[in-house]
Amino acid sequence: MTDTELPRTPDYDAWPIDADLDAVSFTPRLVTVRWSDGRVSRYHGIWLRENAADDTTVNPATRERILDLSTLPAWPEIEGAEVDASGALCVDFAPEDRRLRFHPGWLRAHDYDNAVDPEAPLVPVTTWQGGPEAGPDTLDAAGLLDTAPDGEDEEAILAPALESVLGKGLVRLRNLPTEPGSLDAIARRIGPVRPTNFGQLFDVKAKPDPDSNAYTSIALPPHVDLPTREYHPGLQMLHCLENSVAGGQAVMLDGFAVAEALRDRHPAAWATLTRVRWCYANTARTTDYVWFEPMIRLDARGELLEVRIADFLRGPLQAAFEDVEPAYEALMTLQRLLRDPAFAIRFTYEPGDLVIFDNRRLLHARDAFEGASGHRWLQGCYMERDEIRSRYRMVQRTQRQRRLAAEA
């Protein structure tokens, strides 16, 4: 590669160049660049050295780092810095006597010196309420399995679906196949399925000798699935194969909206439910899952991370003596909020419908149905939040690559 060609990046992504490197200055431990739009960015020499894309830093076949900084002869110091003919940043490092080049688009995208939040969600999180006229974001997904994987036709369906799940926690796809097992192929257009003790795919229908309330015709209260696990599944998919029963409407609530309402209206209950660790237990005939966690969890930034609400999967509370009554008071306050119809959307599954939702955010419920009136058969599976974020990043990457190719 010559100095008239842009260097590769330490990843596989495509990085548009929205501003050019205009001027460069340096000290032994710092490079300062001015961009053509006036922005000034500073990069530590140690950071640049570790994030170079040459063969001594990353494996060119995998783009995974192979450099161990502690094996360098000394702290890497900067002996020179300039912009080359391709527009890349060139930095000379001592004591290695090594010149390394940095792609300006990648450098700009990773500008930690300016007001960039690297942990910002891929799609802004929007809480929502329900009501009689509300429903899930709904998309026509007919032909999804006939599209080429990673093709533009597939992305036209997946991109808005992924955005709805990432932003609102919920999307409904319609007109999908109704053959049993087709959910597996649909799910794998997003990512790997997470198997559980209920199987890779599980059938949600009334059956003899059930091992879960979901496999009966009784009503189910608002809940998340598998809060009994250390890390309960991030996504759930429910695919309707058959539905001719009377009743059995699906009910969905945004658990984050309920939690925010609890914080605003009942701050003492909020404080208790974010602190007290409840017991979640699924002690079936052949398995015994138990985990302890607060009902509402925040991340390190103080943002809502997950809710664990499932009355029928709570074991005996094992909290400090003085916390027991406040915990139950807070629980009943939350339960009353969950019954408020303003939070709920209701809909009937049609054959070919697939609902994808964030199982660590959305609460789902079901009205009772009359089993003798027909058949109700959903197939479900679980997946991790990581898979939908990865798939969305890949969609964005291929869109950028197409854009750059069209501009070339």
**CA 114 and chain centroid, separation:** 25
Q: In sequence order, what are the residues at sequence separation of 6 or more whose Cβ sits closer than 8 angstroms to the Cβ of residue 321? A: none
Give the rounded percent of residues in the chain with a pLDDT score beyond 70.
Answer: 98
Residue 96 and residue 91: Cα distance in Å, rounded? 12
Residue 344 and residue 257: Cα distance in Å, rounded? 11
Structure tokens at 111: 């500008």
Average pLDDT for residues 181-205, to the nearest whole number? 94
From 51, 47, 50, select the one nearest 69 (Cα to Cα): 50
Confidence of residue 208 (pLDDT cuts 50, 70, 90): low
Q: In sequence order, what are the residues at sequence separation of 6 or more whose Cβ sits closer than 8 angstroms to the Cβ of residue 141? A: 157, 161, 173, 174, 175, 176, 354
Residue 149 and residue 129: Cα distance in Å, rounded? 34
pLDDT at 213: 74
Adjacent-strand bridge partners of 357: 170, 236
Adjacent-strand bridge partners of 240: 378
CATH topology of domain 138-394: Double-stranded beta-helix (3.60.130)
Name the residue ranges covered by the structural domains of the chain.
21-118, 138-394
pLDDT digits (tens, 9 = 90+) for 253-265: 999 999 999 999 9
pLDDT at 74: 95
Confidence of residue 396 (pLDDT cuts 50, 70, 90): very high
Q: Is the pLDDT of residue 164 over 90?
A: yes
Q: Tokens 């450098």 — which residue?
A: 107
Q: Is the pLDDT of residue 45 over 80?
A: yes
CATH class of residue range 21-118: alpha beta
Rounded to a whole number of angstroms, the distance between the first and last alpha carbons of the chain is: 18
From 172, 173, 178, select the one nearest 242 (Cα to Cα): 178
pLDDT digits (tens, 9 = 90+) for 12-34: 998 999 999 999 999 999 999 99
DSSP string covering 138-165:
EEE-TTGGGSPTTSHHHHHHHHHHHHHH
Q: What is the DSSP letter of 194?
A: B
Q: Is the pLDDT of residue 371 over 70?
A: no
b or e along 57-87 (b: 16 or more beta carbons within 10 Å of the residue's beta carbon)? bbeeeeeeeeeeeeebeeebbbeebebbebe
Q: What are residue 215's phi and psi, to 5 degrees?
A: -95, 30
